Amino acid sequence: MSSGGKLRFMSWNSNGLKSKISRVRSEIEKQECHVVFLQETHSNEDLEKLEDWKSIYTKQTSPNTGVAILIRKDIFDESCYTVERDHDGCYIVVKCTLKGQLFTLVSLYNPPANTRPLIKLRNVIEKNADSILLIGGDFNTTLNPYLDRNSKTKNKQHLSLNPVVEVFMTSFHLVDVWRRFHPTECEFTYKSSKRPGKAVKSRLDYLFVPEESMHYIKTCEISKEECCSDHQPVLFEIWMSKEESKKPEFCDYPFTGEWLRYKSIYQTKHDWTKNPHTPPVMKEEIEKAVESLAVNQKQDDRPDCIPLSFYVNNLYNLIPDLCAFCNNILQQPVNIPESFNEAFKVSETYYRFNVDYLILATVMARRLHDHLESHSVEYTDDRKKENKAVLFTFKEQPIKVSWSVLRKFLAKEMDKVKTTPPIPDTYLIDIFYRVLKNSSCGKYKLLCWGCPLTPVLMTLCLKCIANEMIEMVQDQTSKIFISRENVVVRFSLDFDKELNNLKEKYIFVECKLVDECKPIDANPSEDLR
């Protein structure tokens, strides 16, 4: 980065602007923000009254939508920026330079039970996003109904949008930033006003950031102060420091010959029909993997000095060799060089890997993710008083898991009925051994942020530990709900002894009652939103 410093952002559903622009201005100034994502503005003309701000907004006919992005004029480069607007006022995408750093900023309002905006926005981001992508908005769904709502009943609108949001997040390796910073907490951004004293609260407003940009985010909080909306602002800070990036060696090469000579591990090709149980990696999987990573093309400082932009610009020529390499690994044992999983340690929890590593890890992660999804259950609303839900998550990052434990969990999944595409046979377990990084002492495998396999392997570990507890309790009515970075199990039988035993066995996992995560007043009697 050419310059450093702190940037403070706010994402907020203001629930209209007309007749309260002065109060909106006061809220923004009180939070001392540099950039503001606004949703459900309804009418945007009044934003021109904010003299110190560059106001970029949608012009829609619907009175119930409208989004905007406000940027302080003293940090905004007026001479160079691009804008993509949704004609229905559901999203706006601004690519601009702030303090010398390129950003792609997105403000989204997703109307209840409407899947169209996210599908359209996904296409826009694929074509336009670059460098640091920040997505703030009201998604009108909860990612984890147990933690992100205080109502005990189903919300059909939330459940209909949830799968679309999950696909959207997976497409770009997006992180729910607030949940990453607060893995076991329950806070809400929306409060219904229909029944004072029995208000239903939900966390509907999110900040999403690609995993590769997550290390820039230093804080993320939900404001607890009174404001002039039924939604609370989500506040976050980015700290940018000067980084000396290596000059990419291959960014000027239009052909793949030099790259192939450098990447000698790609030169040996094998017949992938030798193992018919494992479907070959197809070019579509490679294309999707590269597309999901493409929002980070400016992240040039890789261990091998080959930037993502090289793969994007030369993808057509590279695909045959990338497919061959992935199939070499997934179809039969090969000797993977130790340097293959080398990475820059950007922070205590985040590593930046080479692009070819990320492509293979993404393919493996998506296959394993499809398998886990096929064995998950839908959220149920059977929260009877005698039932209790237990949250399983990890205590600290990066996650250190002994290979014997991880291997046991992988083997359990291999025994299950295969899905399409299936998890390859047992030998693939050893591929995980070679692909994952070791801890400094060599005793553990690191599930570190920056590796596409980390989220899905976290889910695998938590799911297996939850299943182990179900077997210990012998509760045939228990159900597992799989969410991002945590798992919830609902029991109808007592389990205190089994829970304590599990905590002692898996010291890297935090297990606690969901009710212990929630505020004292989180007990409404009916569902409003």
Contact partners, residue 52, CB within 8 Å, separation at least 6: 72, 73, 74
Burial zone of 507 (CB within 10 Å; 0-12 exposed, 13-18 middle, 19+ buried)? exposed
> Which residue is catalytic, options 158, 173, 231, 369?
231
Surface-to-core class of residue 127, CB atoms within 10 Å of its CB (0-12 exposed, 13-18 middle, 19+ buried):
exposed
Main-chain dihedrals φ then ψ at residue 433, nearest 5 degrees: -60, -40
The reply, when asked if residue 128 is annotated as ligand binding, is no
The single residue of 57, 109, 190, 216 carrying the catalytic annotation is 109
Q: Is 230 annotated as a binding residue?
A: yes
Q: Which of 233, 232, 201, 228 is nearest to 528 (CA)?
A: 201
201-225 in b/e burial notation, b at 16+ Cβ within 10 A? bbbbbbbbbbbbbbbbbeebebbee
Query: Is the bond preceding residue 398 a cis peptide, omega within 30 degrees?
Result: yes
From 46, 86, 88, 138, active-site residue: 138
Of the candidates 329, 320, 340, 325, the residue with the CA atom closest to the CA atom of residue 278: 329
381 is in an annotated binding site: no
Q: Which two tokens stand for residue 398?
A: 């990066």
What is the distance between the alpha carbons of residues 463 and 461, in angstroms, rounded to a whole number?
Answer: 5
**Residue 40 labelled as part of a binding site:** yes
**What would the two tokens of residue 234 be?**
């989500």
CA distances in angstroms from 370 to 118, 130, 315, 434, 451, listed in the order given: 21, 28, 25, 22, 18
Q: Give the phi and the psi of residue 356 in degrees, each rounded to 5.
A: -65, -35
13 is in an annotated binding site: yes
Per-position DSSP letters for 27-63, written without gaps between them: HHHHTT-SEEEEE--S--GGGGG-TTEEEEE---S-T
- Token representation of residue 164: 């679309």
305 in the Ramachandran plot: left (φ > 0), alpha (ψ -120 to 50) or beta? Answer: left
CA–CA distance, 53 with 70 (Å, rounded to integer): 6
Q: Is 231 marked active-site?
A: yes
Known binding positions:
13, 40, 138, 140, 230-231
Give the residue numbers annotated as catalytic, written as ranges. 109, 138, 231
Known binding positions for Mg(2+):
13, 40, 138, 140, 230-231
